[in-house]
Amino acid sequence: MQAMDGDFIRIDAPEGGVQRLVAGFHGHAYDPHRHETYAIGVTRAGAQGFRYRGTGRVSHAGQIMVLHPDEMHDGRSEAAEGFVYHMVYIEPALVAAAGGIGGPLPFVPDAVLRDAAITTLLAEIYESFPAPLEPLERDAFVARLAELLRARSDSHAPERARDPIASTRLARVMAFIRECHADPIVSEDLERVAGLDRFEIARQFRRVNGTSPHRYLIGRRLEAARARILDGEPLAAVANRTGFADQSHMTRHFKARFGMTPGRFAALAASDGR
């Protein structure tokens, strides 16, 4: 695959906690930002550099990137021809559920590596891009990815049995946030949905998802905002319809999550890569 002449982004709709992206850049790509998801990708052409966990990294064509939830990183080209990459974003709760245990989320110490199994897995789920993944295809991908991440993880903490009652309650909380993300949500709402106090919700939520309920809420609002931007809606209207106080509030969170402003994202999404 050859790098494109211009910068571009293509992204599918988040379905079942999984979202796929294809993008290409020259020079600066992303400001420092973080996701509440795992980000697993492959450099398809060129070379991309980024700072991650305090160290500069470079991923060349064919190499895999494994970025963990809530870890700050940026992005830039390390090659004159730019770079093209695929990246899949997966909610940590899916990885935890697929693992079938209550231990820590898998942590892969190498942010850049060569891994034939992960490369093959990513290639398989991009065969249909940008068409949506079939539910069974998505579930098989998550199960296999969780297996591969755990096999490569340096986390050896003792595993403990999952609490099915707590898992069910957290699932209700996550479903409520997804459904009501555009509305004001307060702790009392989550307590009513889960049947737990707010502090227990926060502890359990972070253990399973690697982030807080509030950051998860902001993430769902940003996903909705990005979808509306792709549909060509004005930015002020997008902010109003996705639960943000105003456009500046949305822009601040958008840049912190995606490493660019909503306006730049809209321009890249509209570009044909030339």
pLDDT by position in tens, the chain (length 274):
444 568 999 999 898 899 999 999 999 999 999 998 999 999 999 999 999 999 999 999 999 999 999 899 999 999 999 999 999 999 998 888 887 655 678 899 999 999 999 999 999 999 999 999 999 999 999 999 999 999 998 764 444 445 655 678 888 999 999 999 999 999 999 999 999 999 999 888 888 888 899 999 999 999 999 999 999 999 999 999 999 999 999 999 999 999 999 999 999 999 865 5
Q: In terms of residue numbers, what domain contains 112?
A: 8-152
269 within domain boundaries: no
CATH number of the CATH domain containing 252: 1.10.10.60
Are 56 and 189 within one domain?
Answer: no
Report the pLDDT value the prediction gives residue 186, as an integer from 0 to 100.
94
190 within domain boundaries: yes
CATH number of the CATH domain containing 22: 2.60.120.10
Report the number of distinct structural domains present in the chain.
2
Report the pLDDT value the prediction gives residue 93, as an integer from 0 to 100.
87
Are 62 and 141 within one domain?
Answer: yes
Give the Cα separation of 42 and 254 in Å (integer).
Answer: 23
Are 106 and 129 within one domain?
Answer: yes
Give the Cα separation of 76 and 27 in Å (integer).
Answer: 5
- Specify which residues 48 forms β-bridges with: 59, 77
Domain boundary pick from 152, 186, 210: 152
Are 77 and 205 within one domain?
Answer: no
Are 182 and 253 within one domain?
Answer: yes
Question: Could you tell me the CA-to-CA distances from 210 to 73, 129, 134, 215, 251 in Å, in that order?
Answer: 16, 28, 26, 10, 24
Report the pLDDT value the prediction gives residue 164, as an integer from 0 to 100.
58
Are 47 and 73 within one domain?
Answer: yes
* DSSP single-letter state for residue 266: H
Compute φ and ψ for 177, nearest 5 degrees.
-65, -45
Are 16 and 107 within one domain?
Answer: yes
Are 22 and 137 within one domain?
Answer: yes
39 within domain boundaries: yes
Provide the residue count of the chain: 274
Report the pLDDT value the prediction gives residue 162, as an integer from 0 to 100.
54
